[in-house]
Chains A and B, each alone.
Chain A
């Protein structure tokens, strides 16, 4: 029963909600969709938040109890979670001078923590990507075979085409072209921005669309397998 009930629910609701978008009746739109689906998703979402907080809390407490390696960071995580949560919940009216202790509005401690701690820390983490990408490009973009060489040349064109330098080179070449030679517009070869747009519009669009179709078909197949109980891994356990 423990496994059969969820499977039956998935089968029934899966089939019903598969047809809902195709039915234009008030019952389907108002009751099945707006009343049931939207409200149930909200309820499930709230449970997911509660469970994730509980899980995070338990994980850090266990780490502290066992004095596991970098358990000091667990203290920081717990303190951060409690303090920020409390600050946001406290009423707006609670303030010292011009500083609001509670609430999430302007001049509140919450807002200060967000602007001066969360924003710079997250921005720093992401900015590291520039270094990793540079290093990865240097180590992996090697002309080992024809495909790798094609990838390398395409990447170089896009990199130049996406920055003002590409336009400057084209303008320079255009000037040289019109000054010395007329008739043959060879400077077009240096229109990196134009080539970049061609790469993005044609080969990129074609391949992305093919991948998208493949992924979508895969999603439909997986959904059908789940609805009809062929795929049961979402239930957990070994099956």
Chain B
């Protein structure tokens, strides 16, 4: 019996790996749902955004690479969803990692696409009853879902005068124009680039870009990710509600897998006096609690749990909540192994064996 307990302290790590793979995978495949009670630092950020007025602006900085996507991308999506539904304008930028450009684009375009698709729901449904459009769908052997997705991009592209999206679907665009589809849509209800959101992509220079945006965004950034000149956009040129610098930004939210929240706090909070919040990976989160207490951060999303908390608050379950099952069982497995390891260690020590 004693030998068996001693064995607990010497289990081959490959067994642990196998069990870990099992406990992480099963809840994902079973789509296990778990409820969470949001933590205070998450509620603080949620309340801040909830209390913003339409036409206020938030700036999200995507400072992570694909390796920490599992924790930070659900946060990005939840924050963007919340802001879009509050009619708050959103700006996105990536400063720390070039590879974040694609992730930020995916989160912003994806959420805007979903929002517009929902708004255009009835218009799209009616299109399926149109003979010419039905013929087009049939000739292209297009699935309903694909068609819906194309239309959800094409109608906003018309109002944005987005030539590249239109040119890819020239024929369909001509049919929609012929059928006067665009006149049936109220463009004010859609989220359009340059009016409701914009994405700058990766901008090299890090702290310099942060500082430059504090004096003049157009001068510092010039163009957005899609190559559009910022000065041509309503959100940067309209005399009544243009975004010139941080004075016109309600909060900067840095989603980070590195030290960038420190720079945002130093330059944007301290120098320009603007509120800063952050969402970080779980291993980094402990570093940022002092800044939460000193009010240099107005909110903190801590790892995948932070994303799950935010999804709970906005009532939109996503990847954060989905991941809670795996995280719960993984933590339990680690605790179980720590207990077994200690039992083995104590038994070994008692029997005068291994005395590490």
Neighbour of B335 across the interface among A105, A160, A193, CB < 8 A: A160
Please judge, given known A-B contacts A138-B16, A162-B331, A205-B289, whether A122 and B338 are in contact too, CB under 8 Å: no
**Chain A hits for B148, CB < 8 A:** none
Counted as pairs of residues, one from A and one from B, with CB atoms less than 8 Å apart, the total is: 144
- Please indicate which of the listed interface residues A133, A152, A156, A163 has the most CB atoms of chain B within 10 Å of its own CB: A163
Cβ contact within 8 Å between A41 and B293? no
Tell me the complex Cα distance, A143–B350, Å.
13
Cβ contact within 8 Å between A119 and B102? yes
**Chain B hits for A127, CB < 8 A:** 70
A182 at the interface (CB under 8 A from B): no
Cβ contact within 8 Å between B102 and A162? no
Report B311-330 CB contacts with A as 1/0, cut-off 8 Å: 00000000000001001101
Main secondary structure of the interface of B (DSSP, over half): helix
Cβ contact within 8 Å between B324 and A163? yes
Tell me the complex Cα distance, A120–B65, Å.
11
**Chain A hits for B205, CB < 8 A:** 38, 41-42, 45
CB proximity to B under 8 Å, residues A137-155: 137-139, 141-144, 152, 155
**Chain A hits for B282, CB < 8 A:** 162
Main secondary structure of the interface of A (DSSP, over half): helix
Cβ contact within 8 Å between A38 and B212? yes
**Chain B hits for A106, CB < 8 A:** 109, 165
Neighbour of A122 across the interface among B67, B290, B341, CB < 8 A: B67
Q: Which of B36-44, B82-90, B117-125, B183-191 contacts A (4 or more CB under 8 A)?
A: B36-44
B147 to chain A, nearest CB (A): 14
A12 to chain B, nearest CB (A): 21
Neighbour of A115 across the interface among B68, B106, B168, B328, CB < 8 A: B106
**Chain B hits for A164, CB < 8 A:** 34-36, 324, 328
B337 at the interface (CB under 8 A from A): yes
B77 at the interface (CB under 8 A from A): no
| In the complex, residue of chain A having the shortest beta-carbon distance to the beta carbon of B271 | A21
| In the complex, residue of chain B having the shortest beta-carbon distance to the beta carbon of A46 | B204
Cβ contact within 8 Å between A197 and B331? no
B211 at the interface (CB under 8 A from A): yes
| In the complex, residue of chain A having the shortest beta-carbon distance to the beta carbon of B102 | A114
CB proximity to A under 8 Å, residues B298-356: 302-303, 305, 324, 327-328, 330-335, 337-338, 340-342, 345-346, 356
Tell me the complex Cα distance, A106–B164, Å.
9
B66 at the interface (CB under 8 A from A): yes
| In the complex, residue of chain B having the shortest beta-carbon distance to the beta carbon of A114 | B102
CB proximity to A under 8 Å, residues B264-306: 282, 285-287, 289-290, 293, 302-303, 305
**Chain A hits for B335, CB < 8 A:** 156, 159-160
| Interface size, chain B (Cβ < 8 Å) | 62
Tell me the complex Cα distance, A140–B215, Å.
50
Interface extent on A, as a size class?
35 or more
Cβ contact within 8 Å between A200 and B289? yes
Cβ contact within 8 Å between B331 and A160? yes
A221 at the interface (CB under 8 A from B): no
**Chain B hits for A34, CB < 8 A:** 212, 215
| In the complex, residue of chain B having the shortest beta-carbon distance to the beta carbon of A164 | B34
Please judge, given known A-B contacts A122-B67, A162-B282, whether A105 and B164 are in contact too, CB under 8 Å: yes
Cβ contact within 8 Å between A134 and B337? yes
Cβ contact within 8 Å between A130 and B289? no
Cβ contact within 8 Å between A105 and B226? yes
Cβ contact within 8 Å between B337 and A123? no
Tell me the complex Cα distance, A126–B73, Å.
14
B223 at the interface (CB under 8 A from A): no
B166 at the interface (CB under 8 A from A): no
A40 to chain B, nearest CB (A): 10
